[in-house]
Amino acid sequence: MKLYDSRRAPNPRRVRWFMAEKGIEDIEIVDVDIFGGQHKTPEYLAKAGLPNVPALEMDNGATITESVAICRYLETLYPEPNLFGEEACEAAVIEMWSRRTEMLVATPLMMAVRHGHPALAAIETQIPEVAANGRATAEKGLKMLDRRLAESAFIAGERVTMADILAATAIDFARMVRFRPDPELVNLKRWLEGMMARPAAKAGV
């Protein structure tokens, strides 16, 4: 298999972190230069269908995009350690918190960076109001996570799951626009320090 990757984009890091948590080392990594427009070439679009990274080219020749979809596929091939749920109830809880994290924290922070970092004006028609709204939405979402983390070691339960990877990669990416979570969110702070201390946090950075 081949993973089409970009060290400059946040979504590929989700997959790299996921792979590192599982110890997956037998997938070829192919770097895609998004600032050079390599993700928009006919060759890449023929594989991925959209100018998106990451993309996973499977052994059967099919290619899938979307970071969570890629991670779900890899979970079926490399089931341990489990990151999506071992039985129906746990899987539903992890899905719930992953969706909440994606919609209320990860996507808003990505929009804050895309519309707020000067270097990204080369690939994005930036709208300052979008960046400001992303920050405000994420700040509310992080308060939600802080409340959750007051009663749970990790976002979806007592162990690391996909929900934690989604949140940690987004928060770390937002450093590009000098975003920092409110230090008064002590539960979030405890969790984030623990996540960034994990060996997988360094995957591909």
pLDDT for the residue numbered 172: 96
Choose one of 51, 77, 103: the last residue of a domain. 77
Residues 119 and 188 in one domain: yes
Residue 39 near residue 53, CB atoms below 8 Å:
yes
Q: What is the pTM of this model?
A: 0.94
Same domain, 123 and 193: yes
pLDDT at 186: 98
Residues ≥6 apart with Cβ < 8 Å to 166: 14, 68, 98, 101, 102, 105, 106
Single residue among 77, 111, 135 that ends a domain in this structure: 77
Do 94 and 174 lie in one domain? The reply is: yes
The answer as to whether 205 is a domain residue is: no
Q: What is the CATH number of the domain that holds 133?
A: 1.20.1050.10
Q: Are 165 and 14 in contact (CB under 8 A)?
A: yes
- Say yes or no to pLDDT of 204 above 70: no
Q: What is the C-alpha separation between 44 and 164, in angstroms, rounded?
A: 30
Domain closes at, from 53, 77, 101:
77
What does each C-alpha distance from 159 to 45, 97, 114, 116, 166 come to in angstroms? 37, 13, 31, 34, 14
Q: Would 171 be classed as within a structural domain?
A: yes
Structural domain containing residue 73: 2-77
Q: Are 24 and 81 in contact (CB under 8 A)?
A: no
Which tokens go with 149? 């983390």
Within-domain flag for 82:
no
Give the integer Cα–Cα distance in Å for 12 and 89. Answer: 28
In a domain? residue 155: yes
Instruction: Give tens-digit pLDDT for 51-84.
Output: 999 999 999 989 999 999 999 999 999 999 999 9
Q: What is the share, in percent, of the chain residues with pLDDT greater than 70?
A: 100
46 and 126 housed in the same domain:
no
